[in-house]
Amino acid sequence: MISIIDLASKNDYSEIHIMLSSNQLIHKTAEYVKQKMLHESTGHDWWHVFRVWNMAKLLSTSYSEADLLKVELAALLHDLGDYKITGSSDAEEGILRSAMDELGFTPEFKEEVLEIIDKISYSKNVGSSEVLSIEAQIVQDADRLDALGALGIARVFATSGKAGRSIYDPTQTIQNYKTMGERRISNSSAILHFDEKLLVLRDMLNTKEAKKIGKKRHQYMLNYLLEFYAEWSGKD
């Protein structure tokens, strides 16, 4: 990646201005999202966004063709209007558009970032075979990786607790939800959510780098579940 110092040595001040403006927009967006989501308690808080943002930047280093500005902004904004926070799946787009207008996104760029956010959503695109842009693949992978491993375990219990779902109910069975609407109103336990969603995410990752990380985190969750069921049955 070309640095500002490299461009200055070439007297390319127009490009320097673009880079500075991009960095300012990223910083402004990060501060905006942080203020809105810092105290959110479903596992979709600012620190989740922060991790997704950093992971997206890390994954982007392997794809020079990716537009890093779009990747970073989509990662920062991807959960701002999420139904788990707002309580309404219909409010997301309006919240995002309002935020982008306030942050000074141009109309065209706003639509491009919105498209990435829309395409990476698990709830909106489960079962979809649509080919994603490299930017969407990266942000989607970063978001899904944060639902795996030790972080994923912590977040599923936070989300389940906020939703009033139990840790585990042995009388429940795995459900094959036809829509995410059905999932949202279900009372499936936190442990059941591993089988219903988290353990399938590894095979839904896009990039080679994410698949490598996902494999390790997936195994960690399997080990955790083995220990959980052993302790539950009194065999530990």
Nearest to 85 by CA among 48, 137, 125: 48
Parse the chain into domains and list their residue ranges. 13-232
Q: Token digits for 48?
A: 């989740």
Q: What is the DSSP string of 209-230?
A: HHHHHHHHHHHHHHHHHHHHHH
Taking a C-beta distance cutoff of 8 angstroms, is the pair 153, 161 a contact? Answer: no
**DSSP letter assigned to residue 66:** S
pLDDT in tens, the chain (236 residues): 455 445 445 555 344 334 448 889 999 999 999 999 988 888 889 999 999 999 999 999 999 999 999 999 999 999 997 776 665 666 788 999 999 999 999 889 999 999 999 999 866 555 556 789 999 999 999 999 999 999 999 999 998 988 889 999 999 888 765 555 555 546 789 999 999 889 999 999 999 999 999 999 999 999 999 999 999 998 76
CB-based burial of residue 12 (10 Å sphere; 0-12 exposed, 13-18 middle, 19+ buried)?
middle
DSSP structure string for 125-178: HTT--PPPPHHHHHHHHHHHHTTSHHHHHHHHHHHHHHHT--S--TT------S
Fold of the domain spanning 13-232: Hypothetical protein af1432 (1.10.3210)
pTM of the full structure: 0.84
DSSP code at position 167: S
pLDDT value at residue 129: 63
- Residue 20 has a pLDDT of 47
How far from 234 is each of 170, 220, 227, CA to CA, in Å? 14, 21, 10
Enter the tokens of residue 43. 């596992």
pLDDT at 110: 92
CA torsion, ordered 147, 150, 154, 157, to nearest 10 deg: 70
Distance CA 42, CA 71 (A): 24
Helix or strand or coil: residue 125? Answer: helix
Confidence at residue 10, expressed as pLDDT on a 0 to 100 scale: 54
